[in-house]
Amino acid sequence: SGWVSGRIGMDGPASVAAGNGMSKEGDGFLSRVSERAKATRLGNITAARSVADAVRTSLGPRGMDKMVQTETGDVLVTNDGATILEKMNVQHPAAKTLVQLSKAQDIEAGDGTTSVVVICGALLEASLELLEIGIHPTIISECFQIGLDKSMGVLESMSSPVDLENREELVRAASTSLNSKVVAQHASLLAPLSVDAVLSIAGDERQGADLRNIRIVKKLAGTVDETELIPGLLLNQSAESGASGPTRIEKAKIALIQFQLSPPKTDMENSVVVQDYAAMDRILKEERTYILQLVKKIKCR
């Protein structure tokens, strides 16, 4: 309006019309931007809700298993939300956020991977209804934060402390988590093994456990009932019996070597041409001698 009043004495009504035309054009531009923003929000919410709907029916003890075919053609049957989302080929950025949410929950708690995705989908559905009646996204986000603080207070009031020295209580908690898994019928076997495995790496202070220190080795032709906990190191290698070497050694000393025992190689790609068998024998003897010297140095230490 200030620009219009400054020009009215010079150009008359034509200037006023031009000013009004620019104002209408600006309103149209803002309207188009607003429509694009609404369409973008709707697309993001719809994509995220579709991911939540994909795992919704696998939630809880009565949840159904999902048959997932991976990119390599392998077929996987599971009801674990993190596993299903990990094998899904998700392309939409908003949908990928839910996949990352499930992974974060799996790393932090090891359970509830499906629940967090379903809850997130429900919150997005509720936020869509609030957006349709004209509430600004910032206000919705702030209210969700207030609801989070209230929910944390309710959960803390109804929670009970866990005694890490009470093994029976820990086993019951682990059995509850396994009830919604495919191996629920083997919970009585796997729950104590899981508790003992975590406690063995938690240390005396029980401040935390790095689950990467627990290795799960799968063997074909076996059953779940044959699962056992080995309090030590399991070398998943076959014994080299081709040279008539021993296949079983009692009270053996095992060396953990982080480099390969092999003869030295040239820095550049070169080729060695051997013209007779005698030269080949000399090369093989030199390689065996070099490796034997390395082994003797390791043995002396």
Question: Residue 231 in contact with residue 200, Cβ under 8 Å?
Answer: yes
pLDDT, tens digit, 9 for 90 and up, residues 1-37: 334 333 333 344 443 344 444 444 445 544 665 788 8
Look up residue 162 and give its two tokens: 């866990």
The C-alpha atoms of residue 12 and residue 25 are separated, in whole angstroms, by 21
Q: Three-state DSSP class for 30?
A: helix
What is the pLDDT at residue 192?
92
Cα distance from N-terminal residue to C-terminal residue, the chain = 90
H or E element, residue 78: strand 75-78
> Residue 69: enclosing H or E segment and its boundaries?
strand 66-69
Identify the CA nearest to 162 among candidates 127, 187, 135, 199. 199
118-129, pLDDT tens digit by residue?
A: 999 999 999 988
Q: Tell me: pLDDT of 55 over 70.
A: yes
Identity at 32, one-letter amino acid code:
R
What is the amino acid identity at position 279? A
- Please, which residues bridge with residue 77 across strands? 67
Helix (H) or strand (E) holding 120: helix 113-132
